[in-house]
Structure 1
Amino acid sequence: MKKNNELVRALTLRDAVGVGLGAIIGAGIFVVTGIAAGVSGPSFIIALIIAGTIAAFNGLSSAQLAAIYPHSGGTYEYGYRLLTPSFGFSAGWMFLISKLSAAGFVAIGFGSYFHQLLPVASPQIISVVAVIFLTIVNYFGIKKVGILNLVIVAFTLLSLLYLIFSGVTAMEVTNFKPFAPFGVSGIAEASALLFFAFTGYARIATLGEEIYEPKKTIPRAIIITILLAIVLYAAVSVIAIGVVGAKRMADSQSPLQVVAVALTTPAIKPIITIGASTAMLGVLLSQILGISRMMLAMGRRNDLPPVFQTVHSRYRVPHLGIIITGFIILLITVTGSFEFIVRAASFTILLYYSITNIAALRQPRKDQIYGRAIPVLGFIGCIIMSVSLPIEVILVGIGLLIAGFVLRLIFHSIWK
């Protein structure tokens, strides 16, 4: 008999990997690769490997924690159990801030891409319909979300594989010269940008209560997801530079579409547009999934109103969290505001992963599957990237964290 606020384990290894890939393969590969090319030139491929390696360190820390604490909330839960309530709350609040703001702009991106395929309505209306549809899917059970996510990820992967095979014969060696026009500093900056393209794997740990055999499945899913993402991102990036060069990628907000236009393979442009659309849709689906589970975990400890811990008696999902998540994303989608929060998301997510690594270091030695070196390296990577951010971004992030603690104080005073 399920408790009133207990979720159901329905996700397999395949589903968990699908959720991770759906969260990673989105704006990162379709947008951020162009920005990274602008700051480091063709050497952003090196930056990509560095970012992926640091993400792997963080991912292994998440994996060893999730194996022991397979509960909703991910690092929020680890912070509470292994560090202090303040660390735990900081992780949960930063997760909500970064993912809610990112979800709204991903929804806007989906509307823009899909409108290019089928201009049946304005991009904003398409975005709104997508948010409502995915909110409804999330409401009716985790298994349905898992199935839809696998379909979405399959379309995205097939489109990117088509781009890779189409571009192999169209590459030119001269497009890789000069390889590092902005030196080491350009590579370092590109690494910081590209790191955020890999952070979706945390969604797997956040769903710890809904995965079969979590102690075995979650670490495997995180490792498989990161490895596949690194290989895919590297292959696409090499092809993109080889076909059009770093400058043309940097000059466009849709660098992979620039690559598609330069190729002569049949239907390559609409296929890449479809891939971009499904990629955005997959990220949005996983955002609603992860945010609502974080709200559930925080509601259980009164860090958010306890109503968020309510689980639907039939569908076994945090339905109120799903509805509120969908509503907030709709607000951001319609108004297009909160841009300052989006800029601060880079700082907030680095804080989240820093706490993950600290929690992994505090685990008992017998539970440290990958030893102490991995979380140490992950923590150092997060710190180096965080100090490379503009000071105004850091200050906004700190301000948002302070606002969160004020709200937490209010919630705790009301619901003792």
Structure 2
Amino acid sequence: MIGAGIFAALGPAAAAAGSGLLIGLAIAAVVAYCNATSSARLAARYPQSGGTYVYGRERLGAFWGYLAGWSFVVGKTASCAAMALTVGAYVWPAHAGAVAVAAVVALTAVNYRGVQKSAALTRAIVGVVLGVLAAVVVTCLSSDRADVARLSFGADITVGGVLQAGGLLFFAFAGYARIATLGEEVRDPARTIPRAIPLALGITLAVYAAVAVAALTVLGVDDLGASVAPLTDAVRAAGVPGLVPVVQVGAAVAALGSLLALVLGVSRTTLAMARDRHLPHVLAAVHPRFGVPHRAELAVAAVVVVVAATVDVRGAIGFSSFGVLLYYAIANAAAWTLNPDEGRPPRLIPLLGVAGCVVLAFALPLVSVVSGAAVVAGGALLYGVRRALSSAGGAWRDGV
């Protein structure tokens, strides 16, 4: 969770919420907690890969599983583009799109050969990112230019703006549900996972709140909302321009690490859906030498390259959040159907999770809602057409 999202999402969230930015952050954290808890209970019941693609299918029916998988693929593909554009925004802002495309091509080549982000590399990336974020917080809060008055709530706060910020900041919490999928890999999962989820979310929320407060004290809401690389602008405003290259390196490391894992995850879900013929079956191929779903990886990379070359990071974040929020709405709905003997969470959690996901999804910027809804509807239409053709083919064979 502590990765590139905090480097990218603060700007658009501040533009939406104004001085209500921290309220939006708290809302995003609450919805993330509900989603992660529901996912954890479902993962304990269905310990297999696929996430809500599996949970929705098993608890709600084939269509809802498909829709969850489709929303995940399109949402996380946009996340890949957002991560790549974050690299560009911090490393070479004048040519962010070109840098983003180069990053996607390079990491696809790495993934193609079966190189994955190991636990050791993950710890190293998190260590670097935490070090950079700590430097940003200390620099900003100790600066003579810091003004705590910039944290006060003003008349610019609106319910719609705060909810939109919550939806955008939800993007920065991506990754928490991976804890829920580790039931077969940890000791005493029934005890460990329910404790790990709130602890991880609590730590992440504390880090994000500290960074948001630090950036607000030196930039103010308006400048923070206008920034595409808010943390470099924050240390520059704090009067320490020498720290800018360090922040740039930290953002690049965080974004590239996230992108490596995202491309891998999206391509694997694409592989699973292709095997079930919910996506073109040609994407179900596995490389005979490297053992990776190479066609799925290349297809995902091609789409990410197009998105990264044609939209900005704010548009990518909004579209990504829309798809992923719908994915988790289905996860919460699936968790609601669990029986007490199946480890059902307290009823309030999936109920609040569904409501929170839907509200935040439709509070996102209008272009994100319209484009996201159109793509999700297109996926649903494809499902219906495929089912109709399959039924017609079966009827024709029966008649013959």
TM category, shorter: 0.7 to 0.9
Structure-2 residue corresponding to 1:108:
85
Instruction: Give the counterpart letter for 1:82 in structure 2.
Output: R
CA contact (8 A) 2:267 2:300 kept: yes
> 1-side partners of 2:66 and 2:217: how far apart?
45
Structure 2 residues not aligned, in runs of 5+: 395-400
> 1-side partners of 2:330 and 2:362: how far apart?
16
1:196 aligns to what SS in structure 2? helix
> 2-side partners of 1:219 and 1:289: how far apart?
26
Identity of aligned residues (%): 35
Structure-2 residue corresponding to 1:276:
251
Q: Compare 269-278 and 318-327 and name the one that shifted more.
A: 318-327
Matched residue pairs, number? 386
- Pairwise mapping of residues 180-329 of structure 1 onto structure 2 (< 5 A)? 180-185=154-159, 186-202=161-177, 208=181, 212-213=185-186, 216=189, 222-265=197-240, 267-312=242-287, 315-329=290-304
CA contact (8 A) 1:128 1:330 kept: yes
Task: Report the alpha carbon displacement of residue 142 of structure 1 after superposing the two structures with TM.
Answer: 6.2
Structure-2 residue corresponding to 1:6:
none
Instruction: Give the counterpart letter for 1:181 in structure 2.
Output: A
Q: Among residues 31, 34, 55, which one is paired with 1:54 in the alignment?
A: 31
TM-score by length of 1: 0.80
Instruction: Give the counterpart letter for 1:108 in structure 2.
Output: L
Instruction: Give the counterpart letter for 1:56 in structure 2.
Output: Y
Instruction: Give the counterpart letter for 1:319 in structure 2.
Output: H
Instruction: Give the counterpart letter for 1:51 in structure 2.
Output: A
> 2-side partners of 1:99 and 1:345: how far apart?
6
CA contact (8 A) 2:84 2:259 kept: yes
Structure-2 residue corresponding to 1:160:
133
Structure-1 residue corresponding to 2:150:
175
> 1-side partners of 2:290 and 2:69: how far apart?
24
Structure-2 residue corresponding to 1:397:
372
CA contact (8 A) 1:82 1:359 kept: yes
> 2-side partners of 1:53 and 1:209: how far apart?
22
> 2-side partners of 1:60 and 1:33: how far apart?
25
Summarize deviations over 1:223-249 as a string: whole Å, max 9, x none. Answer: 444223211110101111222322221
Task: Report the alpha carbon displacement of residue 288 of structure 1 after superposing the two structures with TM.
Answer: 0.3
> 2-side partners of 1:355 and 1:318: how far apart?
26
Residues 295 and 48 of structure 1, relative CA distance in 2, 3 Å threshold: same
Task: Report the alpha carbon displacement of residue 77 of structure 1 after superposing the two structures with TM.
Answer: 0.9
TM-score by length of 2: 0.83
Structure-1 residue corresponding to 2:331:
356
> 2-side partners of 1:366 and 1:85: how far apart?
24
Instruction: Give the counterpart letter for 1:239 in structure 2.
Output: A
CA contact (8 A) 1:160 1:236 kept: yes
- Pairwise mapping of residues 113-132 of structure 1 onto structure 2 (< 5 A)? 113-115=90-92, 123-132=96-105
Q: Among residues 42, 51, 71, which one is paired with 1:74 in the alignment?
A: 51
1:57 aligns to what SS in structure 2? helix
Structure-1 residue corresponding to 2:11:
34
> 2-side partners of 1:251 and 1:390: how far apart?
16
Residues 238 and 198 of structure 1, relative CA distance in 2, 3 Å threshold: same
1:370 aligns to what SS in structure 2? coil
Q: Compare 241-250 and 142-151 and name the one that shifted more.
A: 142-151
CA contact (8 A) 2:78 2:317 kept: yes
> 1-side partners of 2:119 and 2:11: how far apart?
30
Q: Compare 47-56 and 303-312 and name the one that shifted more.
A: 303-312
Task: Report the alpha carbon displacement of residue 63 of structure 1 after superposing the two structures with TM.
Answer: 1.6
Structure-1 residue corresponding to 2:109:
136
CA contact (8 A) 1:304 1:408 kept: no
Task: Report the alpha carbon displacement of residue 318 of structure 1 after superposing the two structures with TM.
Answer: 3.0
Residues 399 and 372 of structure 1, relative CA distance in 2, 3 Å threshold: same
Residues 405 and 251 of structure 1, relative CA distance in 2, 3 Å threshold: closer
